[in-house]
Each structure stands twice: as structure tokens, then as C-alpha cells.
Structure 1
Amino acid sequence: MTGYFILLALVAAAGSLLWLLGNRGALLKLSLAALLLGSAGYTLQGRPNLFGAPAKPDTAAPGLSFARARHVFFGEFNASERWLLIADSFSARGKHAEAGGVLANAVKHYPGDLPLWIGFANALVEQGRGMTPPAQLAFARAEAIAPGHPATGFFRGLAQARSGEPQAAVNTWRKLLANAPADAGWRPLVEDAAAAFSAQPAPPRR
């Protein structure tokens, strides 16, 4: 029964997201149908939990948190933070659908806000316990707002790791590191994440 409610919440979030991205009418109905099928597969299959008790030891990254990582990329004081803090409070109590609802409302009001879209994508990942079609759409929107911004790649990597694809996550992070300046303030965070999932050394700093 819990999986059923998660599925409904995911499809509802997907509908809101598709509406925001401009899908209307028959296209919206077809997109929702596809997402319903895809989300059902994710709900039934399940995904390992990156934060908390993981299904597999090698999918956990102890010490990582969305809030701490978010502050590395965007700082602690910005216009998005009040929304994100409310969502954090819900997520901390396991109310991931409510967290997603808060951020779905936030991106509706501020459609060009990068931290909010990344937060929304993270909430959808939490809700689906891994990368889902709605989360992929949210990450795509974040990428469209600020192409190449390292925060989008970092959190997409976390979603990949949580979805049971640690090597894909490492590849995503290593690509970020390969193009990062040596003094980038976020670089140590990405290096630590890559090291947690791979025995290979990180690319040398330039």
C-alpha cells in the first residue's frame, strides 16, 4: 500500500512538472501515461537508500547530506533557502512526498531558480528511492537553467549512486573534476564522493 501511495505522489509531481515545462493537452496525457508505467516499475522494483540504511554497503556514502552539499555550492543564505529548509524538515521526518510538494510549489512560483529545481529533483529521488522519470525531468530543467553548473552534475551523481549505478555516479563526478579549477570550493566535496564509490584516484588538480 505504501508503494501505491508513493506511485501516486510521483505521478502527481510528474504532472505538475510537465505542466511547468509546457506540455499540454494530449501530449500531457501521453507523457503522464508513460511516467505512470515507468514510475510503477521503480515503485515495484525499489532502489537502495543512499542516506540511512542502504540495501548494499557499497551504495552508502556516510556523512553526505543534501543540505551540507547544497551549502557548498550555493551558500547558506540565498532566496531559495527558506523553501529548501521547509522541505528538509519534512524529509528528516521521512515525509518525502510532502517535501516534494513544497518544492513543486516553489518551482511553480520561481521557475528560473536553479537551487529550487535541484532541490525538487533531490526530493523526487528521495520519494522514489532512486532516479525516476520525474526526477530526470527536474534535473534536465536545472541543466537548462544553468548549463554546466557543477551542482546539477553532483546531485545527479548522487541520484545515480542511489539508483544502484555507482560507476555511473563516479563517471559523472570524474567528468566534473576533469573540468574543475584546482581552487574550486566545491571540488573537495566531489572528490570525497567519487572516492567513496571508487578505488580509482581522482584526476589530478590543474
Structure 2
Amino acid sequence: MTGYLILALLGALAFGALVAFRLPRLAWSIAGAALFLGATGYAWQGRPGLPAHPATPSTRAVAVEPEVIALRDRLMGGRFTADGAYLVASDAMLRTGDTAAATQVVLGGIRAIPHSYILWTQLGTNFALHDGDRMSPAALAAFRQAMRLAPKHPAPPYYMGLAFLRAGDFAAAVPLWRRALALSAPKSDYQQEIARQLAVLERVMQLAQQQGAAPPPR
């Protein structure tokens, strides 16, 4: 019971801070979503009756860099949305190396928001990471569903290309990034970033061909 009492105490303290500092209603919504996700996770996986035990270190933590999140926010509308709350939770799981939990978080989001191209795109990314940086059938299906839901949005082809790139399949990544670039808003900062990354990738493939090395297989 101690764990649940501490959780209740944290909730009360958070509520008191919101009142004391007179924060705007948006902050209430964000804080409430964070507490809800935390409480749900604890209720689902928490075992307060067990004695303390050292945490098992992750064997494969996934780096979720600030610049990666910043680009994603510009591409897909930021973190302070219904979809974004699940992305934040997924990021936290990926940083610990728990790709299975990250995938489950996003699947939960899709059950709540089934037509979210944002969550389907992230699901494709998480499936690929969970399957050892491979474009598995599950990852491919998720990315394709994202593109069906938002055929004119650059995010699904960009992240599908990124998954192919992580898998070492440069040839498959290039046309997807070209499509993402073509769909990007003209002169937007994310368009410039995608163009820069595409230029680097095409240059790497060109150098490989000039040196007589075949690019990674499609």
C-alpha cells in the first residue's frame, strides 16, 4: 500500500502547486495527463508488495536526442496534443531500452485515436527498433497505414525512410526522403533539414558508387 499512498501524496502536492502558483488551464491539462499516465503505468505494472530490488540495467537504450524531438515537433505539431502525450511516454520507454513497452504505449494511443497518422508513424518506428533496426512486416504495415491516413504529409515517408536508413538500406530510404521533401511546406525549417539530410545521404551513395562499392541492397 505504501506505493499507492506515495502516488496519492504526489498527486495532492501537484494539485496544490497548480493552485498556489495560479498556473494557466493548459498547465492543468498537461499535468493531469502526466499524472494519469504515471498512475496507469503504476497500476498496470507496479507491485508495491515486493521488497526493494536493484533495477536491471537496459541492454539497448535508444538515444532520443533533443534535436530529433524538435524536428518531430515541427513535422507533427508538437507534444502538447492528445497524440503528443503518447509520444512523450514512448520516448521515456525508449530511453530505458524498453522498446516493447514503448510499442505498447503507442498501441494504446492508437486504440484511443485510431486515425492518428502521428501514432501510426511512431508505431512503425517503434516496431523497427524493437525488431533490431529491421523493417519488419509489422513496421512496414504501420508506416503504410500512416501514409494512407495522411498521404500528403511528409512525416510518414520521412520516418519510414529513417527506419530503412537505420536498417542499412540506403537505396530504399532515398525515394522516401525525396517524397517527404516534395510534400514539405516550402521554405519551412523542417523542409531545409530534410533537404540537408537527403543531400548527405545521396552524397554518401555517390561516393560509394565512385569507389566501386555497391550501395546497401534494397
* TM-score tier (shorter): 0.5 to 0.7
TM-superposed CA distance for 1:75, in Å, is: 2.8
Query: Aligned Cα RMSD in Å?
Result: 2.7
Matches within 5 A, 1:170-189: 170-178=174-182, 180=184, 182-189=186-193
Please list the CA deviations of residues 59-94 of structure 1 after superposition, one character each: whole Å capped at 9, or x if unmatched. Answer: xxxx79652331121232322111110110000111
TM-superposed CA distance for 1:148, in Å, is: 2.5
User: Is residue 81 of structure 1 aligned with residue 90 of structure 2?
Assistant: no
TM norm structure 2: 0.58
Please list the CA deviations of residues 112-150 of structure 1 after superposition, one character each: whole Å capped at 9, or x if unmatched. Answer: 111111111111111111211001111111111111310
Q: Kindly indicate whether the alpha-carbon contact (under 8 Å) linking 2:153 and 2:184 is maintained by their aligned counterparts in 1.
A: no
Unaligned runs of 5+ in 1: 1-48, 53-62, 201-206
Please list the CA deviations of residues 135-170 of structure 1 after superposition, one character each: whole Å capped at 9, or x if unmatched. Answer: 111111111111131001100110111121112212
Match in the other structure for 2:74: 72
Q: Bigger CA drift: 188-197 or 144-153? A: 188-197
Q: In structure 2, how many angstroms separate the alpha carbons of the residues matched to 1:109 and 1:67? A: 23
Please list the CA deviations of residues 18-62 of structure 1 after superposition, one character each: whole Å capped at 9, or x if unmatched. Answer: xxxxxxxxxxxxxxxxxxxxxxxxxxxxxxx9x76xxxxxxxxxx
Aligned-residue identity in percent: 26
Unaligned runs of 5+ in 2: 1-59, 205-218
Equivalent residues, number: 143
TM norm structure 1: 0.61
User: Is residue 100 of structure 1 aligned with residue 103 of structure 2?
Assistant: yes
Q: Kindly indicate whether the alpha-carbon contact (under 8 Å) linking 1:73 and 1:186 is maintained by their aligned counterparts in 2.
A: yes
User: Is residue 90 of structure 1 aligned with residue 62 of structure 2?
Assistant: no
Larger relative contact order (Cα-Cα within 8 Å, sequence gap ≥ 6): 1
Which amino acid is 1:173 matched to?
W
User: Is residue 164 of structure 1 aligned with residue 164 of structure 2?
Assistant: no
Which amino acid is 2:138 matched to?
P
List structure 1 segments (4+ residues) > 4 angstroms apart after TM superposition. Answer: 63-66, 178-181
Matches within 5 A, 1:107-126: 107-126=110-129
Which amino acid is 2:104 matched to?
G
User: Is residue 154 of structure 1 aligned with residue 161 of structure 2?
Assistant: no
Of the candidates 193, 196, 202, which is equivalent to residue 192 of structure 1? 196
- The structure number with the bigger radius of gyration is 2
Q: Kindly indicate whether the alpha-carbon contact (under 8 Å) linking 1:87 and 1:100 is maintained by their aligned counterparts in 2.
A: yes
> Cα–Cα, structure 1 residues 178 and 110, in superposed 2: closer, same or farther, change >3 Å?
closer
Matches within 5 A, 1:27-66: 66=68
Describe the SS at the equivalent of 1:131.
coil
Describe the SS at the equivalent of 1:199.
helix
